[in-house]
Amino acid sequence: MGETATRTLALLSLLQTRADWSGADLASRLHVSDRTIRNDVARLRDLGYPVDAVRGPGGRYRLGVGAKLPPLLLDDEEAVAVAVGLRAATGVSGVEETSARALAKLEQVLPDRLRRKLTALIEATTAGPANTDSNVEDPTVDAAVLEAVSLAIRDHDGIRCDYRDEPLEIEPYHLVAWQRRWYLVARDPRHDSWAPYRVDWLRLKTPGGRRFAPAEFPGDITEFIVREVARTGWAVHARIRIDAPTDEVMARINPAVGTVESHPGGGSVLVTGGDSLEVVAVWISMLGMPFHVSDPPELVEHVRDLAERYAAALP
């Protein structure tokens, strides 16, 4: 932490220890000038902490009403990052209750300006079902983009953006954290259609879109994300024919793997995908059922290579 931030933290801590301070006393305690104290008080106000001042020789300062706050200084990006981490941890076995309590405390002690932003992000977000890991590095999501999207959801403001180089104006509805990815469920008013959009693929434009009256989402958000991402949201997409009825395949897979359809010639088709060919190959091999790979060609070659490798490993 820098010297200025450390000193401002110390100033806030002093202001909590008693009801009233003179500027000279604060300057003496922190070993700075009266002018520095005025600047630090202004910085606290910019961060949203209410500091009342009484003009006069030396000046006097006190925390405003409702300002019994712990010495916590977070800027906007830091506050959003902490909330995102705690929100994600509420879905991790063993720490969900502790994380939820910590998140509630964070909301209580932040200034109103930041608290409203965090509330918007939390209310706009749910977590999808967990799945297997990946050999592909997780994408980076800008906290400022998450914040902007959550506020747009809260305020029913349209979003103008480039999505994979395509210009769009969409109506944001809900954020879902799934598979270490962030997805925005939104409606395209041009076609009255719903879709999940990878947040790390969004490039927001300023100014944003038009204000809209939110439509009711037609179904279950998490099921929609799983189904549509399996169909359109992966780096690698595949349709795998399985020699087994749909109910047997569905009973065998994690819902996050993909969706299952009946095949006209008998058996089933698993519509799935992943971050890489390796991940898709692992998923289908774990089915324990006879399967046939015909598309995409890169997956066919990868499965053939695996077959040769496994065959060579036999005594």
Binned at pLDDT 50, 70 and 90, residue 56 comes out as: low
136 lies in the same domain as 166: yes
59 lies in the same domain as 95: no
What is the arithmetic mean of pLDDT over 236-258? 84
pLDDT given at position 305: 93
What CATH number has the domain bearing residue 46? 1.10.10.10
Do the beta carbons of residue 159 and residue 186 sit within 8 Å? yes
Q: Within 10 Å of residue 5's Cβ, how many Cβ atoms? A: 12
Q: Name the residue with higher pLDDT: 57 or 198.
A: 198
What is the arithmetic mean of pLDDT over 29-35? 88
What is the arithmetic mean of pLDDT over 157-178? 92
Domain boundary among 171, 191, 219: 219
Q: Name the residue with higher pLDDT: 71 or 306.
A: 306
User: Over the stretch 60-77, which tens digit does the pLDDT of each residue have?
Assistant: 888 776 554 454 566 677
211 lies in the same domain as 141: yes
Mean residue pLDDT across the chain: 81
Domain boundary among 219, 244, 260: 219
Q: Can you name the residues that pair with 172 across neighbouring β-strands? A: 186
97 lies in the same domain as 185: yes
What is the arithmetic mean of pLDDT over 4-29? 81
172 lies in the same domain as 100: yes
Residue 226 within a domain: no
The contacts of residue 149 (CB under 8 Å, 6+ apart) are 124, 159, 172, 175, 184, 199, 202, 204
Residue 299 within a domain: yes
What is the arithmetic mean of pLDDT over 87-113? 63
Instruction: Identify the residue whose tokens are 């390796």.
Output: 278
pLDDT given at position 57: 60
**How many distinct structural domains can be found in the chain?**
3
Distance CA 204, CA 188 (A): 15
Q: Name the residue with higher pLDDT: 40 or 91.
A: 40
Least confident of 1-5, 92-96, 119-123, 163-167: 92-96
33 lies in the same domain as 94: no
Owning domain of residue 19: 3-63
Do the beta carbons of residue 48 and residue 111 sit within 8 Å? yes
304 lies in the same domain as 247: yes
Distance CA 279, CA 136 (A): 9
Provide the 8-state DSSP code for 187. E
83 pLDDT above the threshold of 60: yes
Residue 245 within a domain: yes
Residue 282 within a domain: yes
